[in-house]
Chain A
Amino acid sequence: MDIIVDNISKHFGTQKAVDQVSFQVKTGEILGFLGPNGAGKSTTMRAITCYLTPTSGDIRVGGYSIHENPEEIKQNIGYLPESNPLYQDMPVLDYLRFVAEIHKIPKEKIPGRIREMVRTCGLEAEKHKKIAELSKGYKQRVGLAQALIHDPQVLVLDEPTSGLDPNQIIEIRELIREIGREKTVILSSHILAEVEATCDRILIINDGKIVADGTSSDLRKKAQNKEILKITIEDADKNDIFKALQSLQNTQMVDILSQSGNSFELQSKPGTSSRRDVFRLCVDRDWMLTEMTPTETKLEDIFRELTMN
């Protein structure tokens, strides 16, 4: 089932939480949703899961509109809300049974589904405990289990790995990737590395608007338009090197990196490279070039650039 978000806006009073957002997610795609706190990630996810009705615009999930057929959409979506709310007074197994019944899983299939969820989400040791007695990581697993129990076509996960330890994070990521092969997955996260490792596509939202959309390498390429080189030159005076580097034709900016050694950061003008010029310069002046490393733009930098106002 694919998701088509068509120009949705959501206002709370005078506050615009989401402002004319449109995007599509195809079956078999894992979409990572990034953005600072309060950017509108959760509001968008709540609109997709039919918890909130957008002020304007429509969302179609597998052809069903959130305005006309919310029940069908809800039946096909597995959702893990941000704060992972659960009925704390229920034992894990009772809770999973309740969710299975609500999703109208045939009675004879329910025990099998519960067993499978307990196994996939690693709940075996804690399955008889009340949810309130579980640690945060186990609660998160219960949250995932309840989202997956009816084998939904679409999975919406709001910060699925928060509260988990590193081993669990890797397990859950693998689980999401596996599910994402056949299903449509949207997940939000604050951890950029996680989104990069798990998702096929990244959507960055800021102030209720989409500011970037593409694969992580797409986003990188866009930012890498500007080449940044780390250069170390020995056997020369720091100020001479600095002036020489600045006078290269493609140079936009030069920074001195350390006071002791002769290390510099050289940023070229957009779309150009200074690597050959630097080498030529060193040969001409008989300087010893000991380091020239292109700096890889981190997703963090792209994120900061797009979302800092």
Chain B
Amino acid sequence: MTTIWILAKRELKSFFDSLLAYITIIAFLVFTGLFTWIIGRTVFLMSEASMQSFFGVAYWALFFFIPALTMKLIAEEHSSGTLELILTKPISERQLVLGKFLAVFILIALSLMLTLPYYITIASIGPIDHGATTLGYLGLLLMSAAYIGIGIFASSLTSNQIVSFLLALFIGIFFHLLFELIARYFPGAIGNTLSYLSLSTHYESITRGVVDSRDIIYFLAVVFLSLFGAQMAISRRNYTN
């Protein structure tokens, strides 16, 4: 655990030193703030004390922001050769991947925490459903975890950061949107499987207030499989020169 934390700390420091962290947080707050309060289906337009408009925006904002944070994580280690440096220290591939995962997760959790004033403000205007809001945040955190995993996996496949970013979006869009849409054209088992694979289905069922263990397992499985895939991709160095 300590090794993972040391790795995460270094990664976080690099996020903040390169200003990437500040830019992401500010952009996230501006983006979600605009759509929660000023533009489109805002809190005022809906005229009810709920965070639904915020969750709707954050759902899409995170989808784009997370690949921007994860794209360099392993691709850069590949291209600069530091992978050799880090893996010859007493660090396993699993610890390396988990350290990076933890760093981005902390950064996302921090960004979400900074939106708590929205919650406090809305709660002071009218009666807000505290349960639904808590679950909304939980849903966002779980969804973020899944996309961070996918982003790290994409980053481990290439040494080019742009390719890594686009690849993460490409894989992500299936979970975010396409599986659900395609499922409609396939009745029966295939449709059900695709629908189960769709991240939006599970996200919605959590935010609706139904916390089913199947949903939690789904998110954890996506994280586990993508990080495992990243680990495999890192060990491919043994087969290509």
Contacts and interface: CB of A to CB of B under 8 A. Distances in A.
A17 B241 CA distance: 9
B84 interface: yes
Contact of A89 (B14, B89, B239): B14
Interface stretch (A23-31, A79-87, A256-264): A79-87
Interface in A83-103: 83, 85-90, 94, 98-99, 101-103
Contacts of A102: 3, 6-7, 89-91
A77 B238 CA distance: 20
B88 A51 contact: yes
B238 A53 contact: yes
> Counting chain B CB atoms within 10 Å of each CB, which of A85, A94, A99, A146 scores highest?
A85
Given A81-B81, A85-B81, A87-B82, A101 B240 contact: no
Contacts of A51: 84, 87-88, 237
Nearest to B235: A53
A52 B92 contact: no
Interface in A12-41: 12-13, 15, 17
Nearest to A83: B81
B80 to A, nearest CB: 6
Contacts of B240: 12-13
B153 to A, nearest CB: 21
A52 B3 CA distance: 21
Contacts of A86: 82, 85
Contacts of B10: 87, 90, 98
B47 interface: no
A104 B5 CA distance: 12
A50 B92 CA distance: 10
A49 B238 contact: no
Interface in B162-214: none
B6 A74 contact: no
A85 to B, nearest CB: 3
Interface string B83-115: 111011111100000000000000000000000
Nearest to B89: A102
A81 B88 contact: yes
A77 B89 CA distance: 8
Contact of B88 (A12, A13, A79, A90): A79
B130 interface: no
A250 interface: no
A125 to B, nearest CB: 22
A94 B10 CA distance: 9
Contacts of A103: 89-90
Contacts of A94: 13
Contacts of B80: 85, 88
Given A13-B239, A53-B238, A89-B18, A101 B84 contact: no
Given A89-B18, A99-B89, 7 more contacts: A46-B84, A74-B90, A77-B88, A81-B85, A85-B82, A85-B84, A103-B90
